[in-house]
């Protein structure tokens, strides 16, 4: 049995999905943490719970996601500066400033597998589904 969700138990013993698996006949499955997938799906005007990007919607979805990735890459330097400020926030008060470098995964890196699936779906005329 292939589930589109992986669950954790929430505060009232209900199952809460942590992962979303995107499926399409155009490509292999893409599984993402729900919080990261939600950011992408919000850009595309889709619900994170369950949905479909049809073959007809795929060209616009690809263009929207490519634009968002390009915009985040333009602001990468400012993200680095902000991360450095946060990492060294306590230098004046004698806090430990020997921080190891943080390895952040960029939006473009997280979005790339789904973008590739959407491109293949667009080119092959297939839908992309999740939560069904």
Per-residue pLDDT of the chain (132 residues; tens, 9 = 90+): 344 545 556 666 666 668 999 999 999 999 999 989 999 999 999 999 999 999 999 999 999 999 999 998 876 555 555 666 666 665 555 555 565 665 678 899 999 999 999 999 999 999 999 998
Structural domain includes residue 36: yes
Residue 72 is assigned to a structural domain of this protein: yes
| 95, part of any domain | no
| 27, part of any domain | yes
* Domain membership flag for residue 113: yes
H runs (alpha helix) in the chain: 34-43, 58-74, 76-87, 107-124
Phi, psi of 62 (to 5 degrees): -60, -50
Number of domains in the chain: 1
77 domain residue, yes or no: yes
- Rounded to two decimals, the pTM is 0.71
pLDDT score for 2 = 45
Q: Which helix (H) or strand (E) holds 129?
A: strand 128-130
Domain containing residue 72: 5-90+100-130
Residues 6+ apart with CB under 8 A from 30: 21, 22, 113, 114, 117
């Amino acid at each position: 049995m292939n589930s589109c969700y992986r669950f954790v138990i929430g505060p009232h013993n209900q199952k809460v999905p942590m992962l979303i698996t995107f499926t399409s006949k155009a490509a292999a499955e893409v599984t993402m943490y729900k919080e990261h997938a939600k950011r992408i799906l919000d850009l595309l005007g889709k619900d994170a719970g369950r949905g479909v990007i049809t073959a007809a919607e795929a060209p616009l979805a690809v263009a929207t996601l490519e634009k968002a990735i390009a915009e985040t890459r333009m602001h990468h330097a400012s993200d680095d500066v902000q991360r450095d400020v946060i990492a060294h926030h306590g230098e004046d008060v004698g806090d430990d400033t020997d921080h190891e470098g943080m390895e952040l995964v960029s939006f473009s890196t997280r979005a790339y597998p789904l973008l590739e699936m959407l491109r293949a779906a667009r080119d092959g005329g297939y839908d992309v589904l999740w939560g069904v």
